[in-house]
Homo-oligomer: A and B are copies of this chain.
Amino acid sequence: MEDKAQIQDAIKTQGEVVRKLKSEKATKEQIDEEVAKLLELKARLGGDDGKHQFVLKTAKGTRDYNPKQMAIREKVFNTITSCFKRHGAETIDTPVFELKETLTGKYGEDSKLIYDLKDQGGELLSLRYDLTVPFARYLAMNKITNIKRYHIAKVYRRDNPAMTRGRYREFYQCDFDIAGQYDAMIPDAECLKIVHEILSELDLGDFCIKVNDRRILDGMFAVCGVPDDKFRSICSTVDKLDKMAWEDVKKEMVNEKGLSEEVADQIGEYVSMKGGMDLAERLLQDQKMSQSKDACAGLSDIKLLFSYLQLFQVTDKVVFDLSLARGLDYYTGIIYEALLTQAGVAAVSKEAQSGAPSEESVSVGSVAGGGRYDGLVGMFDPKGRKVPCVGVSIGIERIFSIMEQKAEASAVKIRTTEVQVMVASAQKNLLEERLKLITELWNAGIKAEVMYKKNPKLLSQLQHCEESGIPLVAILGEQELKDGVIKLRIVATREELDISRADLIGEIKKRTSEA
């Protein structure tokens, strides 16, 4: 790294060189040459005069949300939160950082993506990587054995994300989890019902929820002849099937992971299977698969799960898919992942606008995932006491991206405030009257704005209303003050009515209650 002070000194010296040449009336070429050197030095500082050397940006992989994006975010969060509440969940919050050792050994290979805090004396800390591990730590710490909770918060991963595809290093997760010793597959089915409800309500186009079970994967590996110590590693190779062709996945299994061709082919046969309850039944009869106790336990649970999903009326979107693996270490049973399968409205219209093919991964991709993790809380409990858990995490950055594109493509303007009325004046010297009136409105709970100018022009006050979608203007004028009335202007129709001061609040409430 360059020392900024040194560069600043060099800039000073070089500046003097240029000034001297100019005062000496040197040739243009001579001056230009030295000026070029000066500019180069300044460029190395990053600013244009050496005083403001800030790089004006957010950290890599992060972004600000502007008011329009926040309006969309609020809408999405409201839909998700309503669903979680409808299913009776409480909510908790945990700190953004945890003791480093709390996160150690929970994420397998992904641990390298954890953000650590600098050791400034005291504890070693890391930013949370997900909301599941802090949840398990919370349960163990407070000896909670059953709870249904949601948690919406940001998590942090030092990934190299493609940000145009809605992936970031700082991103929100919306988690819903059920902890407790319950009868099999009832809470698991509710998690899938929740994913179904949320994705339907957000209206993101068609979607599909893939389901599998870690025990079926393990059993399958065992009966295919994968050595025990390679289960995890082969599992993460299978996990790549959503991005890679089977041929490439097979190559990795054989060439990198050392499986024989025959074993890989047997796996290949299984992981191509997709279906519903019928597939689970068929596999329970499968000569090889039925030899594994693990696989049978998983398959019976898949059957039970589907029977509950039928009662919940969501089987239309759920597929039992043996290629679903999921990366995280802590899953022990059912796993699932929801994918948007349809090019969204926005992506299509974007394509139509630009002529270029739409970016597939914005509209197609995983937007939710989860599963059962019966061992995680026990890893934190001093006595190893287990608390069975199942949960789902909605990854909403991609959903935001789609909603943003949709909003852009749509003609409907997004409002970023909820202001009902603007208090305006038609003449000069009415600031005091405006402030008096807006105080009345605020005190009555009306959302109101006033321009922070002593004598704003009426036109600019009205323009502000048009631009920001404020539906009403309460206009004060000399004559109105004398008559004890306010001129109420309806922005959409440009209609104006004289309302007595006493009736104004009622009139505003009446006219904005439908909105």
Contacts and interface: CB of A to CB of B under 8 A. Distances in A.
Closest 10 CB pairs of A and B: A182-B452, A67-B90, A62-B95, A88-B449, A311-B435, A116-B118, A65-B93, A186-B452, A90-B416, A88-B419
B54 A101 contact: yes
10 contacts: A57-B99, A64-B95, A64-B141, A66-B92, A85-B447, A88-B417, A90-B417, A95-B170, A96-B154, A117-B127
Interface in A378-437: 379-384, 416-419, 431-432, 435-436
A442 B58 CA distance: 41
A165 interface: no
A313 interface: yes
B91 A67 contact: yes
B47 A445 contact: no
A86 interface: yes
B120 A117 contact: no
Contact of A48 (B170, B382, B431, B452): B382
Given A58-B98, A93-B70, A141-B57, A86 B448 contact: yes
A73 B90 CA distance: 13
A194 to B, nearest CB: 9
Nearest to A91: B70
A137 B73 CA distance: 22
A158 B120 contact: yes
| This chain: copies in complex | 2
Contacts of A93: 64-65, 70, 73
A99 B149 contact: no
Nearest to A61: B95
Interface string A434-471: 01100100110111110011100000000000000000
Interface string A214-240: 000000000000000000000000000
Contacts of A445: 86
A156 to B, nearest CB: 8
Interface of A: 47-48, 51-60, 62-67, 70, 73-74, 85-99, 101-102, 115-120, 122-123, 125, 127, 137-138, 140-142, 147, 149, 154, 156, 158, 170, 178, 180, 182-183, 186-187, 190, 193, 197, 308, 311-313, 379-384, 416-419, 431-432, 435-436, 439, 442-443, 445-449, 452-454
Interface-centre pick from A60, A63, A186, A379 (highest chain B CB count, 10 A): A186
A180 B452 contact: yes
Contacts of A63: 95
Contacts of A431: 186
B418 A60 contact: no
A83 B118 CA distance: 38
A429 to B, nearest CB: 13
Contact of A116 (B86, B117, B312, B436): B117
Contact of A92 (B64, B115, B187): B64
A5 to B, nearest CB: 13
Contacts of A73: 93
Contacts of A141: 56-58, 64
Contact of A115 (B120, B182, B383): B120
B447 A86 contact: yes
Contact of A56 (B92, B380, B419, B447): B380
A51 B117 CA distance: 26
Contacts of A382: 47-48, 52, 54, 56
A250 B332 CA distance: 66
A94 B48 contact: no
Contacts of A53: 101
A167 B308 CA distance: 47
